[in-house]
């Protein structure tokens, strides 16, 4: 399991969405989200951006679980296939990420998004490990 500081709880966007950390470790990660009205698109199904965010973060955490010394794993590229609507208000979606290859600076991952027993989206992504992120971005700690 990853230390709790690895999950970006202080990320305002993830906090706004209500993303829940379920688990991460040994190249895998899982997140959950209880769907609310602000997660919906004009068709009243989960917005694709919500689905993409869940898959992106699940993959990044899976990658970081293989290299916890990294301050971050940033997305270099991501591909997603939407298979069916991800759910409506009141539903719950689960993102399951897995890292399948790691080099010294990069990680290659895939992820699935589930709504109950339905697979609703799949993604693949490449992530770059960053160290000393605050110094590189000139961000002062709070």
Residue 142 counted as domain residue: no
Domain span holding position 47: 4-137
CATH of the domain at 48: 3.10.129.10
Q: How confident is the model at residue 3 (pLDDT cuts 50, 70, 90)?
A: very low
> Could you tell me which residues come within 8 angstroms of residue 119 by beta carbon, excluding any fewer than 6 positions away?
83, 112, 113
- Report the pLDDT averaged over residues 43-52: 97
* pLDDT of 108: 98
Say what percent of the chain tops pLDDT 90.
Answer: 77
* pLDDT, the chain, mean: 89
Give the lowest-confidence range in 12-16, 25-29, 90-94, 111-115. Answer: 12-16
* pLDDT, tens only, 91-104: 999 999 999 999 99
Residue 34 counted as domain residue: yes
Between residues 68 and 3, the one the model is more confident about: 68
* pLDDT of 137: 57
Cα–Cα distance between 32 and 18 in angstroms, integer?
Answer: 9
What's the structural domain count of the chain?
A: 1
Residue 39 counted as domain residue: yes
Residue 8 counted as domain residue: yes
């Amino acid at each position: 399991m990853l230390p709790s500081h690895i999950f970006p709880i202080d990320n305002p966007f993830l906090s706004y969405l209500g993303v829940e950390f379920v688990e991460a470790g040994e190249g895998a990660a899982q997140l959950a989200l209880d769907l609310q009205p602000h997660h919906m698109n004009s068709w009243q199904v989960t917005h694709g951006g919500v689905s993409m965010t869940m898959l992106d973060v699940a993959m990044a955490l899976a990658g970081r679980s293989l290299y916890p010394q990294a301050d971050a794993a940033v997305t270099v590229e991501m591909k997603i296939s939407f298979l069916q609507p991800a759910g409506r208000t009141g539903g719950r979606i689960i993102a399951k990420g897995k890292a399948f290859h790691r080099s010294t600076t990069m990680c290659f991952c895939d992820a699935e998004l589930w709504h109950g027993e339905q697979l609703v989206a799949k993604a693949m992504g490449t992530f770059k490990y960053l160290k000393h992120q605050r110094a590189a971005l000139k961000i002062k700690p709070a």
